[in-house]
Amino acid sequence: MPDKQQVNRQVRGFTLVELLVVIGIIAVLIALLLPAISRARQSSQNLKCASNLRTLGQLLVMHANDHKGYLPLAGNIVPGTDLNGVDDSQSLGDGSKQKYVYYENTPGQYRVTALPAALAPYIANQSVRDDSWQNVEADIGTGPIQDAFLCPSDENTIDRTYSARQWIHNYAGGNETYLTGWSSYGFNSEVLGWTDAGVNGTTGHSRARGKISIIPHPSETMLMCDTNAALEIWLLAPQLSLGDVYLGTGGTAGSGVFDLNRHRGRLNILFVDGHVDSPTILSTDATSADAPIGSAGNSPSGDLMSVSMDKDFR
């Protein structure tokens, strides 16, 4: 017979009930921790996104310093008084090609290039091929140039819910030309575009044409921001806000421009002076599906209403 010491040395195992209790406790802890981990990850992505926009702001200023105070053009490019304007260096009053960056559309004809292509030398210390629009689009759609325009909260591949969008749109009397690409961020066409007053539905104002010096309130004027369904953000009437964009006032795309889920109801905004802010999109916790646009449950926040698109420049 085993002595008492041998009996005491026998290790008692866990019962099935005890194992189930332990597993249950672990499951509860995981359930409690997962939301916190998810929130921490989203907060980190939001900070990285804001950092991306801040870097883009620095690159845009570098371009302006090297190009007589002009940012790259983007959006609708309609120089002159009708839709027959062409986005070449002569039509843009830039025969020496010192204000903007161009690509050779046809032999001897230089058209203004897409914003990512203009920033490429500052992003990756390299230039985008400028001998055709096909090569421009191919070069801005890969590597560090593409990565610079992707929010970490967005998909990390080109498999998105939206299609490639237009960086440049020139009407040229029906002979339209485009440069398209991928971007998590939209741009303020009031600052970067070129459409003169009375052209293409604009009333009372024209675009800033990328010229920083004519923007009197750079700390209040949006330059780029998180977008979902549109790359170019534009208005037909002067002195409207980013909140008016959400409401669809004045001809722009409306609430579908913004993704309420990307940063948990917040929007990262790069201002002309280079600072980045992250205001809430809506004045309540509602989403666009909860109530009609413009109602109490689905109105842009006061902060969004105070973000200018084109304050005091026309």
**DSSP secondary structure string for all residues of 267-307:** --EEETTS-EE--BSBSSS--TTTS-TTSTTS-B-HHHHTS
> Could you tell me if residue 313 is inside a domain?
no
Q: For the chain, count helices (H), then strands (E).
A: 8, 11
Burial 110-142 (b: 16+ CB within 10 A, else e): bbbbbbbbbbbbbbeeeebebeebeebbebbbe
Question: In angstroms, how far apart are the furthest CA atoms of the chain?
Answer: 110
Q: Which residues contact 122 (CB under 8 A, 6 or more apart)?
A: 59, 62, 63
> Could you tell me if residue 51 is inside a domain?
no
> Could you tell me if residue 168 is inside a domain?
yes
Phi and psi at residue 300, in whole multiples of 5°? -65, 150
CA 209, CA 76: separation in Å to the nearest integer?
A: 10
> Could you tell me if residue 5 is inside a domain?
no
> Could you tell me if residue 9 is inside a domain?
no
> Could you tell me if residue 300 is inside a domain?
yes
> Could you tell me if residue 29 is inside a domain?
no
CA 266, CA 311: separation in Å to the nearest integer?
A: 23
Instruction: Give the model's pLDDT for residue 222.
Output: 96
CA 73, CA 312: separation in Å to the nearest integer?
A: 20
Instruction: Give the model's pLDDT for residue 55.
Output: 96
> Could you tell me if residue 101 is inside a domain?
yes
Instruction: Give the model's pLDDT for residue 158.
Output: 46
Total of domains in the chain: 1
CA 276, CA 212: separation in Å to the nearest integer?
A: 17
Instruction: Give the model's pLDDT for residue 293.
Output: 84
* pLDDT beneath 70, residues of the chain: 1-14, 33-34, 36-43, 155-163, 173-174, 251-252, 285-289, 314
**Domain of 163?**
63-305
